[in-house]
Structure 1
């Protein structure tokens, strides 16, 4: 099955931020002319990848709408975000996208939706109620980023990544005391 063009572009531009449009087209298995028919400039292409990444993130949050704040909901959110790691990494690593007001507003909105899932988990006793919101988000983003990168480099099996990220989010990496 052929992967979506913008997903390939995200991976190419992550690996080679200075890649030319010809190199991007070649990696995507299309001609440069075909790429230019869809995206006349590099800026248009980068914006399209940013919008795709945001849309994927929004869909990830939508998938856990029925289970916010549950362990299954947290795992589902982490799994969906880890799976879309290259797209999210592209979004998180490209400050030029911060200047796009529509994209920035969508980013803020989906970030708030993620935070509401985490806050619901706090209210259910899964996460410490005293943890500041910004720390909850940054910790989750760091876990997603690290897990997605580990999957990409073959250090972590894709099916193991969500459980490892969830376990770290819920319990940290400290040794657990054994029951006496």
Structure 2
């Protein structure tokens, strides 16, 4: 039998917690296919496991931002580049919806100082992109940039919930999300 890694446990736990947010360590061990003793060797408490999940979620969020060149695009005034970066970021976030959804909704993210600080930093990067898109006329300038950020957040929670419940096929989600975002906040 092959040993299960902490990374494999984190993956299984995120998927299980997205469906069962109050799952116990015993239930998480079962979902990961390990004994409680093995789970506790990797994570001494549920809080330790949640922090690891939060770190993974933030990692995936930043990877999505970096993959689309968010920081560079936020320095531009090119409408096509900004529109494309927003579209590509939404699509990338659908791909990591399980992890990113955890970062958007789990209580651990709001109470652990390091996770909260990092989450705020990543959100600020997106807000800089939204502000650049507003200045370039891609997004509506009369909307408060924080409203756009909160709308983006709400749409991403809807993605995670729609996928979790099976309301929308994963293959259709990016198109629906991009359409909803640009038809609500776009020019």
TM-score band by shorter chain is 0.7 to 0.9
Structure 2 gaps, min length 5? 75-80
The 2-side partners of 1:86 and 1:10 are apart by 7
Q: CA deviation at 1:15?
A: 2.1
1:94-129 Cα offsets, whole Å, 9 max, x none, are 334322211111011000011122222222221111
Provide TM-score, normalisation by structure 2.
0.82
- Deviation larger for 98-107 or 7-16: 7-16
1:83 and 1:148 in contact (8 A); partners too: no
1:25 and 1:35 in contact (8 A); partners too: yes
Map 1:25-40 to 2 at 5 A. 25-40=29-44
Residue number in structure 2 paired with 1:52: 56
Name the one with the larger helix percent: 2
Residue number in structure 2 paired with 1:169: 181
The 2-side partners of 1:9 and 1:61 are apart by 24
2:54 and 2:108 in contact (8 A); partners too: no
2:149 is paired with a residue whose SS is helix
Residue number in structure 2 paired with 1:159: 171
1:125 is paired with a residue whose SS is coil
Q: 1:63 aligns with which of 51, 67, 87?
A: 67
- Deviation larger for 134-143 or 123-132: 123-132
Number of residue pairs matched by the alignment = 172
1:21 and 1:42 in contact (8 A); partners too: yes
Residue number in structure 1 paired with 2:78: none
Alignment RMSD: 2.2
Runs of at least 4 residues of structure 1 off by over 3 A? 66-69
